[in-house]
Chains A and B, each alone.
Chain A
Amino acid sequence: MSDSNLSRRAFLRTVSDSARRSLLVLSVPSLLMAGQQARAAQNDARGFVALNPNEAAEFEAIAARIMPSDETPGAREAGVIYFMDNVLDNENAETLPSLRKGLSDLQAVANTRFGSSLLNTLSDTSLDTLLREIEESSFFATMRYLTMAGMFASPNKGGNRNRTGWQVVGFEGNHAWAPPFGHYDAEYMETGE
């Protein structure tokens, strides 16, 4: 037992040493973040490219039910639609035709069921009802995929404005840390176990 106690003490010593040293190198990532925020500001001023404004309003209405605005911000506040517009103009461009088809199919159902083909005019409850019915569809899977991507990609990509998405899940995008990292290792630093 005395052996393991010795190594425990040696280990605790190294923990606090490396914690001190790691504080020396914090400057580089903060510069990177400054650049990202500058670019996100440019995106704000830009209109939509891949989507027309009507489509954008419809896709945003769906994204806002997938990640709703309630006690915490959701897809609207995060600007998910700007991310979608960006990637649908670029790396995900081939997805756009099928997304448009999926949207018009859903709008047709909305018109029959609720007398309006504009999803963004429906109540949250009505839109949720429609979405629950197509949960298994590839259209919904793609919308969910792009919503998550737009919530959590860096602000550089057009969404996750002011790091809204990251704040919602408690991810602090500092890109450099020093211990303690969480509750239990803070305890460990105090008590050694």
Chain B
Amino acid sequence: MAQAEFSPSEEVDFVVVGSGAAGGIVARELAMAGLSVVVLEQGPYLQLADYTHEEWDVNENEEMVWGPKKGHPQTFRRYEHETAQLMDRAVLSYAHNVGGSSHHFSGNFWRFHPIDFMERSVLGEIQGSTFTDWPIRYEELEPYYTKVDWEIGMSGLQGPWDPPRSRDYPCPPMPVKSSGVLLERAAKKLGWTAYPEPHAILSQPFNGRPGCIHCGFCQGFACEVGAKSSTAVAMIPQALESGNCDLRTMCTVARVETNANGRVSEVVYWDEAGVTHSQKAKAVVLCANGAETPRLLFLSESSRFPDGLANGSGLVGKNLMFNGSTSTAGMFEHPINAYKSVPTTRVIHDFYSIDPSHGFYGGGGIDARHLSRGLPMAFGMQNSRFTGASWGSEFKNKLAREFTHSCSFNGHSTSLPLLSNNVTLDPLIKDRWGRPALRTTFMNHPDDIATMQFFVDRSEELMEAVGARNVTSRFAADGQTGGAHLLGTCRMGDDPDFSVVDRYNRAHEVPNLFMVDGSSLVTGGRGQPTMTIMALAFRAADNMISAARRGEI
């Protein structure tokens, strides 16, 4: 069946704003259940043949991310008393295209563990943080994690490292790389476990899509063969095929209108030519990500919702979390060629929860990667990680050895939610549509920094254990200045005073409005949140379908 075409004046069942990790799933689930769906996506629907490995365009000039060079400025400040500064590159980084950031992610899919959902109860209050339990538990999400495994398409090896799972992975793990072998050898020496990284990348043909060809351009690039399980290849085609989904690309949402009953009624947007349209709908699902969803709620203020739509709690945009990250580089005797194949093939979760006796909260994982995501230009542009020289013969010749003979053990870790870390509308800077730019205010909780230092220390021990030379570490010891994991800005919870959406992602204050993306995460997990965003999307869609069938939308 062909893509549906609805008229804007016709009231469809759902408008879904955004077609990324969450939106692609919600649209597919609703459409396949027979509900009429309009998807509004601000980027294009790129096809496999449109993708390139051109580092200059894709990475350096943010061709998919659409930073300031594409008319999407963002501002940043540390603290609320400061004036935010316009930045050269996207502060909050996400891809603008059908599939959203699931198109350019690395597909490292860690399920959250049971502890992630109830950590506040176990550990108690953390000073300065709004750290709290989720309204749901791991067991309630497990069937949906399994749904992600099988419907999105995952590769991995089940084992004692997994949280409880009801079914094996559909595809075997990706072949181990030299960087993964070194991490595994190091872990073994220290009595830790390095297990095969679970990937949303197919190691072999599955569900009509081909297996990975190990090109090495996962992170920040779209997959030219469709082996990476983005929603653009795993979900959207099925949504369109259902005949119930009208996908409108290059459409930028201006605001969501509320009617006299306090319900959302239509979504106003601009098409590529700048013409304004308004789509009527019975319900609206915002899947615009942890940055754009709160921005849209602010832009949809009204006399009934003066501080932003569905923002009675005052928590829209607040509790922004990125996940901590660290990099510890080492040189080795033989070629590693970490630029080939997927970024990472082994992961250590022995420090998923750091013992509280250390005096700070935190936890995470360690994997092994190339120093510049496998990209030669990025490698040349950064100064050498191992020497002071940044140009000339010495620099060039060291670069030659370092590109192939080094790798990095990277920490991925917790971020605490803080009210003072948030997304708001910039009062001065406007984007190409005249909308206020995204303004990020962010400074890590001290425990985030202590946790990153902890992972640097463990990574250096690992490097030493496996005989690396010239070991050197990097992390944002003065606080992070941006990120790609955009979490927490419309927190989920049972109490409308302390959360924005309920346990089924429905806005507490607006019964026919849903927010489904990274914004609903209560805590940020240990560094790889997308699988949880997807599992929540499957679960929320299930409940939307039941509610629609009961006439409760």
As a 0/1 sequence over residues 205 to 233 of chain B, the CB contacts with chain A under 8 angstroms (1 = contact) are 10000111111110000001100000000
- Residue B306, interface by CB 8 Å: no
Closest to A71 in B: B397
Most A-side CB within 10 Å, residue of B60, B176, B216, B225: B176
Closest to A173 in B: B53
Most A-side CB within 10 Å, residue of B172, B175, B213: B175
Q: Is the interface of B mostly helix, strand, loop or mixed?
A: loop
As a 0/1 sequence over residues 174 to 193 of chain A, the CB contacts with chain B under 8 angstroms (1 = contact) are 01111111111101100001
Residues of A within 8 A of B445 (CB): none
As a 0/1 sequence over residues 13 to 53 of chain A, the CB contacts with chain B under 8 angstroms (1 = contact) are 01101110110011011001000000000000000000000
Q: Are B213 and A29 in contact (CB under 8 A)?
A: yes
- Residue A70, interface by CB 8 Å: yes
Residues of A within 8 A of B53 (CB): 154, 173, 175
The distance in angstroms between the C-alpha atoms of A40 and B217, with both chains bound, is 22
Residues of A within 8 A of B275 (CB): none
Residues of A within 8 A of B204 (CB): 17-18, 21
- Residue B480, interface by CB 8 Å: no
- Residue B341, interface by CB 8 Å: yes
- Residue B393, interface by CB 8 Å: yes
Residues of A within 8 A of B338 (CB): 182
Q: Are B175 and A15 in contact (CB under 8 A)?
A: yes
The distance in angstroms between the C-alpha atoms of A181 and B175, with both chains bound, is 10
Q: Are A177 and B380 in contact (CB under 8 A)?
A: no
- Residue A114, interface by CB 8 Å: no
With A25-B211, A152-B380, A184-B181 in contact, do A67 and B176 touch (Cβ < 8 Å)? Answer: no
- Residue B390, interface by CB 8 Å: yes
Residues of A within 8 A of B52 (CB): 32, 154
As a 0/1 sequence over residues 30 to 62 of chain B, the CB contacts with chain A under 8 angstroms (1 = contact) are 000000000000000000000011111000110
With A25-B225, A175-B53, A182-B337 in contact, do A7 and B214 touch (Cβ < 8 Å)? Answer: no
Instruction: Tally A-B pairs: CB < 8 A.
Output: 181
Q: Are B393 and A70 in contact (CB under 8 A)?
A: yes
B215 CB, nearest partner CB in chain A, Å: 5
Q: How many residues of A are counted as interface, with CB atoms below 8 angstroms from the partner's CB atoms?
A: 61
Q: Are B391 and A65 in contact (CB under 8 A)?
A: yes
The distance in angstroms between the C-alpha atoms of A28 and B159, with both chains bound, is 36
Residues of B within 8 A of A183 (CB): 178, 334-336
Q: Are B400 and A72 in contact (CB under 8 A)?
A: yes
Closest to B403 in A: A169
As a 0/1 sequence over residues 307 to 351 of chain B, the CB contacts with chain A under 8 angstroms (1 = contact) are 000000000000000000000000010111111110000000000
Q: Are A184 and B336 in contact (CB under 8 A)?
A: yes
B211 CB, nearest partner CB in chain A, Å: 6
Q: Are A18 and B175 in contact (CB under 8 A)?
A: yes
The distance in angstroms between the C-alpha atoms of A185 and B407, with both chains bound, is 14
- Residue B67, interface by CB 8 Å: no
B387 CB, nearest partner CB in chain A, Å: 15
Residues of A within 8 A of B225 (CB): 25, 28
Complex interface residues of chain A between 52 and 75 (CB less than 8 A to chain B):
65-68, 70-72, 74
The distance in angstroms between the C-alpha atoms of A85 and B229, with both chains bound, is 38
Q: Are B376 and A154 in contact (CB under 8 A)?
A: no
With A19-B175, A68-B392 in contact, do A177 and B181 touch (Cβ < 8 Å)? Answer: no
- Residue B182, interface by CB 8 Å: yes
Q: Are A175 and B215 in contact (CB under 8 A)?
A: yes
Residues of A within 8 A of B360 (CB): none
With A15-B176, A149-B60 in contact, do A154 and B54 touch (Cβ < 8 Å)? Answer: yes
B462 CB, nearest partner CB in chain A, Å: 14
- Residue A79, interface by CB 8 Å: no
- Residue B381, interface by CB 8 Å: yes
Residues of B within 8 A of A3 (CB): 160
- Residue B196, interface by CB 8 Å: yes
Residues of A within 8 A of B182 (CB): 184
Residues of B within 8 A of A32 (CB): 52
**Interface residue from B54, B375, B381 paired with A145 (Cβ < 8 Å):** B381
The distance in angstroms between the C-alpha atoms of A151 and B399, with both chains bound, is 12
Residues of B within 8 A of A165 (CB): 376, 380
Q: Are A179 and B175 in contact (CB under 8 A)?
A: yes
The distance in angstroms between the C-alpha atoms of A149 and B160, with both chains bound, is 45
- Residue B203, interface by CB 8 Å: yes
Residues of A within 8 A of B177 (CB): 179, 181-182, 185
Q: Are A168 and B400 in contact (CB under 8 A)?
A: yes
- Residue B247, interface by CB 8 Å: no
The distance in angstroms between the C-alpha atoms of A182 and B215, with both chains bound, is 14
The distance in angstroms between the C-alpha atoms of A5 and B213, with both chains bound, is 28
- Residue A122, interface by CB 8 Å: no
A20 CB, nearest partner CB in chain B, Å: 10
Q: Are A14 and B172 in contact (CB under 8 A)?
A: yes
- Residue B270, interface by CB 8 Å: no
- Residue B396, interface by CB 8 Å: yes
A94 CB, nearest partner CB in chain B, Å: 11
- Residue B136, interface by CB 8 Å: no
Complex interface residues of chain B between 135 and 189 (CB less than 8 A to chain A):
157, 159-160, 172-182, 184-185, 188
- Residue A133, interface by CB 8 Å: no
**Interface residue from A11, A68, A145, A176 paired with B393 (Cβ < 8 Å):** A68
**Interface residue from B181, B335, B381 paired with A188 (Cβ < 8 Å):** B181
Complex interface residues of chain A between 77 and 95 (CB less than 8 A to chain B):
87, 91
Q: Are B404 and A170 in contact (CB under 8 A)?
A: yes
- Residue B379, interface by CB 8 Å: yes
The distance in angstroms between the C-alpha atoms of A193 and B69, with both chains bound, is 47
The distance in angstroms between the C-alpha atoms of A11 and B178, with both chains bound, is 16
Q: Are A185 and B180 in contact (CB under 8 A)?
A: yes
Q: Which B residues are within 8 Å of any A CB, using their own CB?
A: 52-56, 60-61, 69, 157, 159-160, 172-182, 184-185, 188, 196, 203-205, 210-217, 224-225, 332, 334-341, 375-377, 379-381, 390-393, 396-397, 399-400, 403-404
Q: Which 10 A-B pairs have the closest CB atoms?
A: A14-B172, A182-B178, A183-B334, A152-B377, A184-B178, A148-B380, A153-B56, A169-B403, A177-B214, A182-B337
A-B pairs with beta carbons under 8 Å apart, 13 shown: A18-B174, A19-B175, A66-B392, A68-B396, A70-B397, A144-B381, A152-B377, A168-B400, A171-B403, A176-B214, A177-B213, A182-B340, A184-B181
